[in-house]
Chain A
């Protein structure tokens, strides 16, 4: 299945070029229908819908240098980490409880903590029960791809129509620096040969799924000095084989995580490096930029984790009437859709007005802005409560979603796990490069410090749709006259 290239044409007046609401507009209607309420596949949907991961799949059949197979940590939030490993029966109970209590939860994914397809019995038993008991939940799976070709038929049996494959390379020389070994045909295979087999299986699995009409997203971990220059070629290759979305994520490597890369001092990419690569790949296919690299047992909206509300003993005590819950879920989701439709209409009007700016001979420069939101696609979070900010680039032609930045990064543990930096200092560092931050409210002290750092705080657009508010703030800034951009050389690592 060959997909059209997302438009990068100049003069695009909607927010669609590059990664915002209408990013998926180039896709056929049946695919848009499949992803419109999937928070991990549609940037716009992630403001409104929630997801959960069920940690039923512990075993893994490969070793990645960015992964530590000791996955049990309550304070870290990153892929491969979970607090409670579940049996399929326990997982199904928990999923029904979450779906009943969080009606905007549309998606259940199995993503680990190992590789779901290296645990086929546990993974497929969970899917089998769910397809019977909760037909209104979308099922998806995330895999390294090694066992994928042999399991495509079974995936199709349970209507798994979203599959994510992590593909970090198509060149075994590069692969050998990322994967020290794989377990293949009952033996350990090391080095270049291992990477060769893995790459072959990944590409074959991708082709087989595309041929069956299954939507495939490709995740790639950007590792400076290893695959950063190679990922453009990966993007082209996976698009040619039918992948519909590419998610380039920053490497997470900290010594405290105990991964090979963390212990050896491999650095992650800077925000700039990540964004530059994402922009390069965007010439080839739709890019996902809102990934939060969540835990293999995450629950809730992207960027939040309500897993603590649904531990095994809490779930055990809940009475769930799923038929009633399904009814309520349908109502809540219909209301969300009505709200989105209203927002779309409103935003469309603003952007048409904004687009008139581009008729100026020499367009004003673009500006990076940060937004504090707790969901719903509106500016509704207090600055001090925000644990992450969404970053947008406003220009004379559009408002483009760039990514998110966490203030507390991947560890929520106490002083023992981090340097003694205040939360405000961390936040200022996370906002490096931004010239405005929009939030519902903000205190006096952070206001002063933000201004001093050259970031204009703005609480005037509380409860307004994000893109509309950003467009208005940008228009104001342009009207006042944008200052010459000072290149602040604050190195800020996207992953550390």
Chain B
């Protein structure tokens, strides 16, 4: 099983130095709108098993939905990183705008 980084990755580099298996890389490619994002080499990824309790890339990734687990599910689903569940979003926005 391996984790996967999808196209919502913003190339912030936070995960790359943390990977105990050195499985994360930035593929070379043309610049421009279709510029490449970080990837995980599925052959190297161990899901951090034996190294850390929490997969490191998903633990530091700042983008909800950018990293999928071995089952293809987002490890950080919507609302999990902002701390605001989607159902409460409108309410939270109104509170913030009243400041």
Contacts and interface: CB of A to CB of B under 8 A. Distances in A.
Do A and B originate from a single complex? yes
Interface of A: 58-61, 63, 69-72, 85, 114, 118-119, 121, 180-181, 183, 186-188, 190-191, 223-226, 260-261, 264-267
B63 interface: yes
B17 A264 contact: no
Chain B interface category by residue count: 20 to 34
B74 interface: no
B60 A69 contact: no
B28 to A, nearest CB: 15
Nearest to A188: B59
A69 B13 CA distance: 10
B86 to A, nearest CB: 13
Is chain B's interface secondary structure helix, strand, loop, or mixed overall? Answer: loop
Given A180-B81, A186-B56, A187-B59, A224 B99 contact: yes
A224 B97 CA distance: 10
Nearest to A176: B83
6 contacts: A180-B83, A225-B98, A260-B82, A264-B92, A265-B97, A266-B97
B96 A186 contact: no
Contacts of B62: 60, 63, 69
B15 to A, nearest CB: 8
A178 to B, nearest CB: 11
A406 to B, nearest CB: 23
A423 B86 CA distance: 39
Contacts of B41: none
Contacts of A181: 81, 83
A69 B10 contact: yes
Contacts of B52: 186-187
Contact of A59 (B10, B17, B63, B93): B17
Contacts of A114: 12-14
A130 to B, nearest CB: 22
5 tightest A-B contacts by CB?
A225-B99, A58-B13, A70-B10, A265-B97, A69-B12
Contacts of A118: 14
A154 B82 CA distance: 33
